[in-house]
Each structure stands twice: as structure tokens, then as C-alpha cells.
Structure 1
Amino acid sequence: MHQSAAEHPEDAEGNAGDAARTPSPLDEVTFRKVVGRFPTGVTIVTTLSGGVDHAMTVSSFASLSLDPLLVLICVEKIARFHDAVLDAGVFGVSILGEDGEEASRAFARRGRTLEGQFDRWSHRRGTLGLALFDAAVATLECRTTAVHDGGDHSIVVGGVVSARMFRAVPPLVYEQGRYRRMAP
């Protein structure tokens, strides 16, 4: 049912924003622009599969449950990391601080060599033997409890086995295709 501007006075102001409310054709470009308006934190997720460290920058990370303690990550099915994290059954999450942009960019690059990939980055091994970044403001280690289909991604749910906070600096944020810093 169509309602007139008189029925919704907040829409009757004639703001330039009216054009922004007009639906655009739904396609991948439009979708990416729309969801890009939602700022996210930036993490580097790690796993250890077959004795080889794997890592990937991930912004699709979220807390899921307090009872039990669960988080989730979304991993593109064609990413090399996808099969490694499913095979390993464990993953580590390093939540990056505002000074973590360089590391984020490095681990977002597809096809980089796995050998020596952590050489430039100060890190330590956690409880599960996973690489965790010292530049993180906080880290978690998880055991995979479920994997769900998410279109071209898999939604990997992990039960948290360790969680630590390290530095009192603002987190690195990503929004509209750019890294952002939180205002003090």
C-alpha cells in the first residue's frame, strides 16, 4: 500500500536524502556499498593445518553466545584459508588495534607465500598452538563446533577456549572500503 508524504511527515521535508531512499537495482555492487556502510572491527584469524600456519584478515567476526561462549567467522569458500580452518578444527582471532593496518593489508593479500609469513609480525603461540599477534588489543582461541553454509562463504562457529585482553588502544575499524580510526 502506498502512503503519501502527508501520512509520513518525516518524509515530506524534501531533503536531498530522498534520492538515497529510492531503491536501486539489487546487484553485487549495490549490496557491497550498502553493507559497507556498517563499520566493522578488523581481525586476523589464524589456524594450523598439517603443521603449516595459515592466516587471513577477517572483518566478518562476531560474538554469538554467552552460554556457551561462542563466536563466528565467515570464510570465503574459494580462499585457501577455508579448507585449512575446516581441516584444523581450531582457529585463533587477533582483534587488531588502530596500529594494525599494515598487518591487516598483508594478510588480506591473496596468494601470498605461507612460508615465513609471520616473520615481520611479532606473535606468540596460544594455548592451542595457534599464532596470535602481539599487535592485537585482544585474542581468542576457539575449537570449531559447527560449520554452516552461507552462500559463497562458510559460517564457522567456534567455542571459545581462551580470551585475553592486552592493550588499551582503540580497535582498527573498516568502513566504506577504508580503514578508519575511532575518535578519542
Structure 2
Amino acid sequence: MSAPEPSGTVPPGEFRAAVGQFAAGILIMSTLQDGVAHAMTANAFSSVSLDPPLVLVCVDKGVRMHDAVLDCGYWAVSVLAADQQQLAARFAKSGRDLYSQFDGVETEAGPKTGCLVIGGALSWLECRTWATYDGGDHTIVVGEVLSLGHGSAGGQGPLIHHASHYRELPGS
């Protein structure tokens, strides 16, 4: 006896609620396009390989960051600390002004790519795009890690996302 053939579609709201039960870290991804810094908040991120060092992030095809990161080929991620919830919300907001989005945000240019990393982040990685894959309404961007660093978050834990809310995980 064979397994039944899957059919139908999963309602988007139910899908979001189900996968929202998986707690995920929050990061800011940045890139440069024509000398202008672009950024977005993401939680679809994972390590892929130790040798070579690879990570992936999923980028919505409908946001301006999508074309910017594909055009540039270099990007950085900053893993946010528990006290950086306002930054997560800021860079998750669609339609913010591209030229002033980093005003008042502590950043520095990554040493290999020049992509901005966020001050106070738990860690950061600079990447070169290794491969891209179609992921429905997102593109899965795999990056080779070129450099990395650890922040000084004062023993704080990471900012996480669970059940559609930002949450804090105590530091170690």
C-alpha cells in the first residue's frame, strides 16, 4: 500500500502560527548597492557548513533588500542582543527612508566588505554570496563567511522571535 498523494494548500495564517512556535534568533542583514547601505531584519538564518564556513539567510523577493543583496554579492549579518528590540522593529518596517535608516544607529563598516555591522550586537559575520536558491516568495542566499567578530553585549542573551513576538533569552 502506498502513501496517499498530498493535496490542497495550507492556509497561510495557520502555517505562520505553526512555524512561529520555532524560536529563532533575530539579526540585521546589511549590504551595499551603488554606495548606499541597505538593511533588513531577519530570523530565517542558519549555519550550513563548517568547511567552508557557510550560512544562509532567506530574503523576501518583494522587498528592496532582495535586489540590493543579489546585485552586490556581499553582505553582513549582526546577531542582535536582547536590548536591541527597537533596532529589530526599525529595520523590519517597510517603506522607511533608505538614506536616513541608519541615523542614530551605532555601526561600523565590516573590514572585508564594507557592509555595515551593528554596534552592541552579540556577533557579526561578513559574507560573499556562494549560491542562491528559489524558495517560493523568498530567495535562499547562502554566503561564505569572510570575517566575523563578537560584540560586547555585557553578558546579555540574544533577542529571539517566538509566536509573533520578540522575546529575551537570558545571557549566560
Superposition misfits of 4+ residues, deviation over 4 angstroms: none
From 122, 128, 135, give the equivalent of 1:137.
122
Percent identical pairs in the alignment equals 45
Q: TM-score, normalised by structure 2?
A: 0.90
- Aligned to 2:70, the other structure's residue is in SS state helix
- Tell me the secondary structure at the aligned position of residue 46 of structure 2: strand
Equivalence for 2:95 = 111
- Normalised TM-score (structure 1): 0.85
| Aligned positions, number | 161
Structure 1 counterpart SS, 2:90: helix
Q: Which runs of 5+ in 1 are unaligned?
A: 2-24
Amino acid at match of 1:179: Y
Q: Which residue of 1 aligns with 2:5?
A: none
Select 2:35's aligned residue among 37, 47, 51. Answer: 51
Instruction: Give 2:15's match in structure 1, choosing from 31, 49, 56.
Output: 31
Matched-pair contact (CA < 8 Å) for 1:99–1:135: no
Q: Does 1:170 align with 2:157?
A: yes
Given the alignment, which residue of 129, 132, 136 partners 1:147? Answer: 132
Q: Which amino acid counterpart does residue 12 of structure 2 have in structure 1?
A: E
| TM-align CA RMSD | 1.3
Q: Which residue of 1 aligns with 2:4?
A: none
State the alpha-carbon separation in 2 of the partners of residues 143 and 115 from structure 1.
Answer: 24
Q: Quick check: which has more Rg, 1 or 2?
A: 1
* Residue 121 (structure 1) aligned to one of 99, 102, 105: 105
SS in 2 for 1:99: helix
Q: What SS class does the counterpart of residue 157 from structure 1 fall into?
A: strand
Deviates more, 1:164-173 or 1:149-158: 164-173
1:159-179 C-alpha deviation (Å, 9 max, x unpaired):
000111112320101000001
Cα deviations across residues 133-182 of structure 1 (Å, max 9, x unaligned)? 00211000000010000000000000000111112320101000001111
Q: CA deviation at 1:26?
A: 2.5
Report the Cα offset of residue 183 of structure 1. 3.6
Please give the secondary structure, in 2, of the residue aligned with 1:56.
strand
1-side partners of 2:146 and 2:83: how far apart?
A: 26
**TM-superposition CA deviations, 1:25-46 (whole Å, max 9, x none):** 8311110000000000000000
Secondary structure in 1 matching 2:82? coil
Q: CA deviation at 1:117?
A: 1.2
